[in-house]
Structure 1
Amino acid sequence: MGPERRVIVGVDVGTRAVRAVAFALDGTARHVATREYPLREPMPGWQVQEPDVLMAATLAAMTACVSGISGAEVVAVALSSARYGLIGLDAAMTPVTPLLTQRDRRSSEAARELRSSGQSRELHRLTGTPVHPMNPLCKLLWFARHEPYLCATARWWIGLKDYVIHRLTGMVVTELSSASGTGMFDVHRRAWSSAVLDLAGVSESQLPPVLPTTAVLRLSPMAGRAVGLPPGTPVVVGAGDGPLRSLGAAAIDHTVGGLTLGATGALRTVVRDPRIDPDETFSCGALTEDAWVVRGAVGNGGNVVRWAGRVLGDEHATPALLDVAARIAPGSDGLVMLPYLRADEAPPESCAPPGAFLGLRSEHSRGHLVRAAVEGVCLQLGGLRDRLADLTPIGSVRLTGDAFRSPLWREVMAAVLDCPVQVTSAAGDAALGAAALGLFAIGHTADLQEALTQLDSGVVGGEPVEVDPALTAAYRGLRARLPTLLTVAGQLGEILDEVAGAGLSAPVRP
């Protein structure tokens, strides 16, 4: 059977959908199957999913993908998943809790207490993960406080990827990437931290053993029958979706940053060993034993422009609004937006003022408002790059994500970054990253770069973004004034909070 009939299947299990993608080993073709699943919000701030519903969708997507490549040889299945989820299981591996997703905020109080007590700094130094409600550590602290019996009697506490691995292979294990995002794993010793486990109120025996991300397990007979693959098919345990997006965007050189912009935004780069920033801004998690992804995130990205579309007219007309905004001069004629519409518990956004338009005048139009929103988000992401430079210098950036289909987003982001910028064709595809990691893990390539090139030669290149030097200079001046604007806005936010707390309001006139 020729290489065109041999494929590797990358499976990316996200928070809203699973994608199973079969990549031909010669890079000539791929077949995609997607299945969605619901999120539940049983209480304000809670966000959960039913593990068995999610797993049924995963098996359905894999089945559809395999049936779509009938006759091809599947050399391996490689896994990616969202990190930071938590599931409690009993001794029979039956879920006793739903999956608490990354955006479940019930443990916000626990996170605030760890930060206010000063414990967060040492926890970050040890685990590479800033204290945040999304972390399994904080979720376990919530269970210990509110459901102590469940916390004490659960046989296992595992993540989303771990549950998928168990259902596909019968093994109860995790891998280095997912473990390094729990807030309980000592990234320097590469082992669970006994001190943090004591704080969380769990024992090491309640957590799964940690394998390398390149570990190869075998598909169980039951799972094989369910998806139409031979039992014993290699299953590469893979990594978290964030690190694999860096790989899928070919941003795996320590001098290259991968910037992804969807509803939220993230900037990542890869270093050889864990690096911890003193400001608790960046997380550091594993892609492989000697490739660690340093990541900074913002909670407000493309959602800001969608919000503007909703309040200014038609939220489905975002492309048209961006076209209007592109006709506005850089700097939006003095209008500045601080794009903090959605609160985020992690630094630096936990210290951010409320969202605001500053300098609003009657001559400003909807185009000004939208352009100021784009510029505000890009300035925020540019600030991440500045802080990341203290850990490792970045000489160029690769842009991925749906937002960068817009020429305006590309132009503004490149001008703010003020370095060589390319837009990649793979859109930071975690399934592609999983497949490339899988190909390397089973020995088909000598390194990750070769694996990525073999599956998708186009991703290693990219479309350069040309920027007028005058535009770069304009945004450089705005970035220099941004700290002052943030200080003023923060003071105004404190005044508004005091007014709201006092219950003051304008009188109602008949």
Structure 2
Amino acid sequence: MGDPAVVVGVDIGTTSTKAVAYDAGGRQLAKHSIGYPLDEPHPGYAEQDPQLIYDAVVDSVRAVVEQLREPVAGLSFSSAMHSLIGLDADGAPLTPSLTWADSRASAQAERLRAVPSGLALHQRTGTPVHPMAPLPKLVWYAEQHPMLHERVAHWVGIKEYVLLRLAEALVVDHSIASATGLLDIHQLAWDDEALGIAGVTEEQLPQLVPTTHVLPGLTADAARATGLPADTPIVVGAGDGPLANLGLGVVHPGEVACSIGTSGAMRVMVERPGVDPLGGVFCYALTENRWMVGGAINNGGLVLQWAGDALAPDLGEHAEADLLALAADAPVGSGGLIMLPYLLSERAPHWSAVPRGAYVGLAHGHRREHLVRAALEGVCQQLALVLASVRAAGNEVHEVRASGGFARSPLWRQILADTLGMPVRFPVQREGSSFGAALLGMQALGLIESIELAADLVKIDETVRPDPAAAATYAALLPLFSELYEALVPTFASLRRLAPSLPPEPPPIAPLL
């Protein structure tokens, strides 16, 4: 625990890259982050320039190295999942980096989901057939840009591109690979059927390696750019979701990490891979005996932001605090008003780009405080559906730890505990995925015995217990909330045809040179 060796956890996110240095006792010694834009050239597109992200990685690492007095024992990486980049034979990008938020492949995903083999594909690969995933994106490229699709020598995610530049190694860890829709998670091998659907070969994909795989050092250019010795080890690392669980100290089966930021997620650690019979959850790898089962939702804190813009534009600069105060004036259950918060369609547990938001049960007596509270309750009810799917996959849940921007609000904390019907523990805030990456790196480099040490390093700040009466109200409303989705799917589909949120397919984009 007193080892002075330092590991820098590098978290490559969709809005910024954050590098944070930790010692083996979990103390944060230095950090730096650099942001970059998310380009949306057409509705439904969400892409980034790989070069900007690589620059952010080396510059943030260099800034941390310059703050440290101690030598760096290694770098370890976390990355947003589901990204996709096409490279030429020299490793240069032919496409932008498509992020998880890119929904251009919605039609391809819906088509794949509709066939009988769609659920089997999900159950083998652990990844829902959804436009977020690389598999439908690859089908989109094959159908919309076949010449470009044929030119691509290698298909990678953003972390693989960065590692290729840093260490000249074309590798992908089992965690990131398990979120592509292309990996058989039970065999830890590329899935032949998925590759056939995507129109790619194993030779076009990076070499599969464990998340603890260590690359021996940096290229000369990368060493100069980061300020590190060329022989600095690089731990390949994992996806940001599993590492966020690790960073919260959620390392044992039955423990759930819940987060609500702009979006949201519910994830439980398990010892063996598995998906529920209805395909409501994903299953992604962390290590050979630690897997993450859960679901992400598109609509978290952005629902509150929408409520402020649409319902209370008069509140001004203190909109969030005043909105939450408004919501507190409405009763539990919002006077019989339910909001389906699908403003950006939805992911778990239905995994469809079709749904839209809806208020159901509006009455003359409802005011904007009811509408705002119903929005908060809708987000938490959606997470409760994800938790039910986690349990349906055969997982016991006995503890929930939560994090994210929502935790600043005592009201929202209480609504979550009441909706889930169980106590919610709020850890002292850490840097999440970067801390998880550093812990995984320390294990890989032999600086700590096991990542289970995280459970002792993360301290709990507060435990919020459900109010029995409120919990009973939400438990009664949850089946209605779930049934509304099923009842409105035909309406959502008709609206999509009659008033589509996406315009006709834009002209083909030129590849990056």
| 1:65 aligned residue | 64
Of 395, 406, 428, which residue of structure 1 is paired with 2:398?
395
Q: Say whether 1:333 aligns with 2:335.
A: yes
Could you give the per-residue CA deviations for residues 197-247 of structure 1, whole angstroms, max 9, x where no partner exists?
122111111111111100111223321111111111111100000111111
Once structures 1 and 2 are overlaid, which stretch shifts more, 166-175 or 343-352?
Answer: 343-352
Asked if the contact 1:402–1:427 (Cα under 8 Å) also holds between the matched residues in 2, the reply is no
For residues 437 and 340 of structure 2, what CA distance do their matches in structure 1 show?
36
Any conservation in 1 of the 2:259–2:404 contact (CA below 8 Å)? yes
Instruction: Write the letter of the residue equivalent to 1:350.
Output: S
Inter-CA distance 353–136: structure 2 relative to 1 (3 Å threshold): closer
Q: Which moved more, 1:223-232 or 1:351-360?
A: 351-360
User: How far is the alpha carbon of 1:30 from its aligned partner?
Assistant: 2.9
2:95 match: 97
More displaced 10-residue stretch of structure 1: 214-223 or 301-310:
214-223
Q: Is the deviation greater in 73-82 or in 467-476?
A: 467-476
TM-score by length of 2: 0.91
CA change 1:19–1:307 in 2 (3 A) is same
Secondary structure of residue in 2 paired with 1:181: coil
Q: Give the letter for the 2:156 counterpart.
A: I
Does the CA contact (< 8 Å) of 2:298 and 2:347 recur in 1?
Answer: no
Aligned length: 495
For residue 373 of structure 2, give the secondary structure of its aligned residue in structure 1: helix
Aligned to 1:290: 289
Q: Is contact 2:65–2:227 with CA below 8 Å preserved after alignment?
A: yes
After alignment, is 334-343 or 291-300 more displaced?
Answer: 334-343
Distance 2:3 2:28 in 1: 8
How many angstroms apart in 2 are the aligned matches of 1:206 and 1:486?
39
| 2:304 aligned with 1:302 | no
- Which of 422, 429, 433 matches 1:430? 433
User: For residues 214 and 466 of structure 1, what CA distance do their matches in structure 2 show?
Assistant: 37
Q: Which residue of 1 aligns with 2:385?
A: 383
User: 1:493 offset after TM fit, Å?
Assistant: 5.4
Instruction: Tell me if the contact between 2:337 and 2:374 (Cα under 8 Å) persists in the aligned partners.
Output: yes
Which stretch shifts more, 142-151 or 279-288? 142-151
1:210 is matched with which residue? 208
Deviation at 1:496, TM superposition (A): 6.6
CA distance in 2, matches of 1:336, 1:153: 49
Question: In 2 relative to 1, CA 399–179 (structure 1 residues): closer, same or farther, beyond 3 Å?
Answer: same
Shift in Å, 1:360: 2.4
TM-score w.r.t. length of structure 1: 0.91
CA deviation profile, 1:55-108 (whole Å, cap 9, x unmatched): 111111111111122x21111111001111111111211111111111122221
For 1:471 and 1:7, how far apart are their aligned partners in 2?
46
Partner Cα separation in structure 2 for residue 485 and residue 192 of structure 1: 38
Secondary structure of 2:212's counterpart equals coil
CA contact 1:238–1:434 (8 Å) conserved in 2: yes
- Deviates further, 291-300 or 344-353: 344-353
Alignment of 1:200 with 2:202, yes or no, is: no
Matches within 5 A, 1:79-478: 79-217=77-215, 218-311=217-310, 312-313=312-313, 314=315, 316=317, 317-344=319-346, 348=350, 350=352, 354-391=356-393, 392-426=395-429, 429-450=432-453, 453=456, 457=457, 459-478=458-477
**8 Å Cα contact 1:131-1:346 kept in structure 2:** no
For 2:322 and 2:335, the matched residues in 1 are separated by: 20
Q: 1:148 to 1:345 in 2, by over 3 A?
A: farther
Residue 163 of structure 1: SS of its match in structure 2?
A: helix
Q: Distance in 1 between matches of 2:36 and 2:400?
A: 33
Q: Equivalent pairs: percent with the same residue?
A: 41
Q: Specify the SS of the correspondent of 1:162.
A: helix
Q: What is aligned with 1:35?
A: 34
CA contact (8 A) 2:354 2:493 kept: no
Change (3 A) 1:162 1:488: closer
Aligned 8 A contact 2:131 2:353 in 1: no
**Unaligned ranges ≥5, structure 2:** 501-513
Q: Distance in 2 between matches of 1:149 and 1:40?
A: 23
Select between 233-242 and 336-345 the one with higher mean Cα deviation: 336-345
Distance 1:198 1:220, change over 3 A: same
Contact 1:18 1:58 in 2 (8 A): yes
User: Match of 1:396, as an amino acid?
Assistant: E
Q: 1:78 aligns with which of 76, 79, 86?
A: 76
Distance in 1 (CA, whole Å) between partners of 2:87 and 2:406 is: 38
In 2, distance between residues paired with 1:250 and 1:278?
Answer: 28
**Counterpart secondary structure, 1:389:** helix
Shifted more, 26-35 versus 414-423: the winner is 26-35
Q: 2: distance between equivalents of 1:381 and 1:466?
A: 17
> What's the Cα RMSD here?
2.3
Query: 11-20 or 136-145, which moves further after superposition?
Result: 136-145
* 8 A Cα contact 2:74 2:232, kept in partner: yes
